[in-house]
Amino acid sequence: MSADPSRVLVVGGGIGGLTAAIALRQGGHSVELVEIREDWAVTGWGLSLTGPALRALDTLGLADRLIDLGYGITTIANCDSDGNLIAEVELPGLLGPGRPAQAGIARSELTRVLRDSAASHGAVLRTALTVAQTVENGTSVTAVLSDGTTRDVDLVVVADGAGSKTRELLGIDVTPAYTGQMVWRAVVPRPAWADRLFTFFGPGDNAGLIPISAAYAYCFLTENLPTPDVLPDDELADRMRERLRPFGGRVAEVRESIRKPEDVVRRAVNTVLAELPWNAGRVVLVGDAAHTPSPQLVSGAALAVEDAVVLAEELARTPDVLEALDAFGRRRHDRAALVVEASRRVARLEQAGQQTEVPGLLGRTHGALAAAI
């Protein structure tokens, strides 16, 4: 427990915000979390919790529960468009014998577990609210919420995503950068052969499959597109099947199960990397608000959970909030930069048709991320 418990307001109820609420409550701080959405809706169908993510979640007592709800993964199989193996990447196991290196999981399940954990630890969770303004008071900060009410707190943790509106209020100048790619995701029944993370390098687009439970997986497709666009929702399933047409073998099998437009999401791939400092006074950025990699590294969630753990550690280490925030940023920046820059490099390699260089880059990056935080 912190030697000097603080009053903390967390902005954003995604992975970063909820794990921050859990870690800070475990550290003895008073926590209120505000989320602008009314229904805790999540975007996308699934994600992969990498070894570093599971290691950080293990310190919060959540790793095994999430592994049980998801699907354990130990390797990445990188294949050509017909499913022939090019290279296999053995993932670093960070939880010890008998536990997987990664876990695929439905986003809805992950969010539910994190929300329930935050509430059970005593965090106050409120929806349909966000921060409209913050005013520094020397030894505290006043947050004006979107409903006109105010909170006088010791710290505001900003976890409202890559397009963070609160970041703009702080004057931290960083604009999400489009990578030249769109990502498609569709939930599908899990084929019996999908017992690991698969990637398939096509002649133009790249695809993959990640199991998220015994019954389901999600198929992803990375589309190279110079300028992002928006397609009609009712066309998404048909359009995704068409984009997967150049792939044979296992992808062709999965392709035909993509039939419902509501099972498909398509988003522009943007990256964010804020330079230090990540705080303006007693207001600090965490998770995607500070650093957003592209999805090829499957490490956005890991960085967000690690941020929560490290922030709680630094607040426990020193009673001076500003010193703690400075130490937090210095511990986290280079690691986040490694992931964001590697993900940008992957996007450039894919766009240049140099996919055979991607497995080595992924392996080196995941190896580096196995180091202690």
Q: What is the CATH number of the domain that holds 196?
A: 3.30.9.30
Choose one of 269, 292, 315: the last residue of a domain.
Answer: 269
Full domain range(s) for residue 321? 7-72+104-176+270-369
Please give the average per-residue pLDDT across 29-42, as a whole number.
Answer: 92
Domain assignment present for 194: yes
Asked if 20 contacts 9 with a C-beta cutoff of 8 angstroms, the reply is no
Please give the average per-residue pLDDT across 64-83, as a whole number.
Answer: 95
**Whether 275 and 145 share a structural domain:** yes
pLDDT, tens digit, 9 for 90 and up, residues 170-198: 999 899 999 999 999 999 999 999 999 99
Q: What is the pLDDT of residue 245?
A: 96
Please give the average per-residue pLDDT across 190-219, as a whole number.
Answer: 95
Phi and psi angles of residue 364, each rounded to the nearest 5 degrees, phi first? -65, -40
Q: How many residues does the chain have?
A: 373
- Cα separation, 326 vs 20, in Å, equals 17
Q: What is the torsional sign of CA 45, 242, 254, 209?
A: negative
Determine what percent of the chain is predicted with pLDDT higher than 90.
87
**Whether 242 and 280 share a structural domain:** no
Q: Which two tokens stand for residue 6?
A: 């603080």
**Whether 279 and 155 share a structural domain:** yes
Angular region, 83: left φ>0, alpha ψ -120 to 50, beta rest = left
Q: What is the pLDDT of residue 11?
A: 98
Choose one of 269, 292, 324: the last residue of a domain.
Answer: 269
- CB contact set of 97 (below 8 Å; sequence gap of 6+): none
Of 140-144, 176-180, 333-337, 350-354, minimum mean pLDDT range: 350-354
Q: What is the pLDDT of residue 5?
A: 66
Q: What is the pLDDT of residue 341?
A: 97
Q: Which two tokens stand for residue 323?
A: 């010193």
CB atoms < 10 A from the CB of 96, how many? Answer: 7
- 3: pLDDT strictly greater than 60: no
**Whether 167 and 184 share a structural domain:** no
Asked if 15 contacts 40 with a C-beta cutoff of 8 angstroms, the reply is no
Half-sphere exposure (Cβ direction) of 157: Cα atoms closer than 13 Å: 42
Domain assignment present for 1: no
Choose one of 251, 269, 287: the last residue of a domain.
Answer: 269
Domain assignment present for 166: yes
Tell me the three state secondary structure of residue 323: helix
Q: Which residue has the higher pLDDT, 6 or 144?
A: 144
pLDDT, tens digit, 9 for 90 and up, residues 9-19: 999 999 999 99
**Whether 133 and 244 share a structural domain:** no
- Cα separation, 227 vs 10, in Å, equals 34
Please give the average per-residue pLDDT across 354-366, as a whole number.
Answer: 88
pTM of the model: 0.95
Q: What is the pLDDT of residue 204?
A: 87
Q: Which of 320, 331, 347 is nearest to 290 (CA)?
A: 331
Of 1-5, 8-12, 82-86, 305-309, minimum mean pLDDT range: 1-5
Angular region, 5: left φ>0, alpha ψ -120 to 50, beta rest = beta
pLDDT, tens digit, 9 for 90 and up, residues 283-295: 999 999 999 999 9
